[in-house]
Copies of this chain bind each other. A is one copy, B any other.
């Protein structure tokens, strides 16, 4: 079995850009999408893989969404760049129900939150601060926008927001190096760590944003995937720093509609918010024109949150939490450190405590760790080096939602009292447990492991 290209091709940075205004000389495909393609190809060639490297929610299609799509077929005209009013009203209502009263004029729809994040980076001035690790698209977008990215480590307790002390230090250093940080991206809950920053941390970081004059882009696409809202309450930076926070969201994660490409942004009130919104609409008019008309009708349906959508969000979140916690347990059992997952459908184990044993077996960094999991056990994960993390660290992201299986299995998983007891999920969890244990030449622990549930 040959080793896959888990190390990315060198990414372009602003320093390497052609001084004559040429585009990036070389831009690697987004590593998660590239890996997903690799997995499709190897599976088509007959290999059995456990694919944990792609952030797809894997949920069955809601019939109401399909109905809204079919009914939206008549929307063949371009329509307003920001989206039609009925769809923007629905998104505004979604935010209002979450304690953020919003005028529909402050909403912009797009084919996913990804193009909105790109348009924000293209139109908001200055360089950008990112948590480290972070979702693998923020940094390449910054490079495409001619921005320099400042990665700031996240706390030991949760990801998606920089550690406040590290943030202050990094800002000071960046300014001394001639950078002009004016923008900060936060991810709540976080991809890749699967954790939600607590309110006090959000407040601390918003205070710094205020004193350092940073605009906050709060990526809240996992907001409706908080596993236990009572235990880990959600606080948006838009609640704390309303005048400087843009929220992005979408239906890809909460409703498993990634392939439909529906995203939305909520801009701050007042004049400065209007300017940011106008900038993004101007960029949108040159980059994508508008969200597809029929998909605007889907947005109007889903963001209005009729009862079946509310029920689906609840069932899906329960499933995501149960499976993420199971993989978290497997990681701990194998001797790794791992933040307890509280949102989204990811875990981010740290095999640092096993560094010596792993080094004896030739695994010395996140690239070789990810490669070993694939070559030895057919388990595909995303090495931390692809997410802005220290490449020497022994960390990776595992997307646990990919364990749910195909459409029929997804329905069973959503309906199950205890999804971990379903044979198709238990079997895959057992394979993950074996793979993690095998990294250091051990047996998967028999106690408390999903194998016993089989």
Contact with B along A105-134 (1 / 0, CB 8 A): 000000110110010011111110000000
- Are the CB atoms of A290 and B23 closer together than 8 Å? no
Q: Shortest CB–CB separation between residue A66 and chain B, in angstroms?
A: 4
Q: Shortest CB–CB separation between residue A267 and chain B, in angstroms?
A: 15
Evaluate whether A287 and B122 lie within 8 angstroms (CB atoms) in the complex, with A77-B259, A258-B77 already known.
Answer: no
- Are the CB atoms of B111 and A22 closer together than 8 Å? no
Evaluate whether A289 and B260 lie within 8 angstroms (CB atoms) in the complex, with A22-B182, A33-B78, A73-B70 already known.
Answer: no
Residues on B with beta carbons closer than 8 Å to the beta carbon of A70: 66, 69-70, 73
CA distance A350 to B75 in the complex (A): 35
Interface residues on A, range: 35 or more
Contact with B along A19-39 (1 / 0, CB 8 A): 011111111111001101100
* Residues from 51 to 105 in A contacting B, C-beta threshold 8 Å: 54, 56, 59, 61, 65-66, 69-70, 73-81
Q: State whether the Cβ of A200 lies closer than 8 Å to any Cβ in chain B.
A: no
Residues on B with beta carbons closer than 8 Å to the beta carbon of A180: 20, 22
Evaluate whether A80 and B182 lie within 8 angstroms (CB atoms) in the complex, with A22-B146, A144-B122, A260-B292 already known.
Answer: no
How many copies of this chain are found per oligomer?
Answer: 2
Q: State whether the Cβ of A170 lies closer than 8 Å to any Cβ in chain B.
A: no
- Are the CB atoms of B293 and A24 closer together than 8 Å? no
CA distance A257 to B54 in the complex (A): 32
Q: State whether the Cβ of A336 lies closer than 8 Å to any Cβ in chain B.
A: no
Evaluate whether A259 and B76 lie within 8 angstroms (CB atoms) in the complex, with A69-B70, A112-B289, A127-B20 already known.
Answer: yes
A-side residues, CB < 8 A to B, are 14, 17-18, 20-30, 33-34, 36-37, 40, 54, 56, 59, 61, 65-66, 69-70, 73-81, 111-112, 114-115, 118, 121-127, 137, 140-141, 144-148, 178-180, 182, 256-261, 278-279, 281-283, 285-295
The 21 sampled A-B contact pairs (Cβ below 8 Å) are: A20-B127, A20-B180, A22-B182, A24-B122, A24-B123, A27-B123, A29-B81, A29-B281, A30-B282, A30-B285, A34-B285, A61-B76, A75-B259, A76-B256, A112-B289, A114-B287, A115-B288, A118-B287, A137-B286, A140-B286, A261-B289
With A20-B126, A22-B180, A261-B289 given, name 4 new contacts (CB 8 A): A21-B145, A75-B260, A261-B288, A261-B291
Give the top 6 A-B pairs by smallest Cβ distance, nearest first: A30-B285, A259-B293, A22-B125, A66-B73, A70-B70, A21-B146
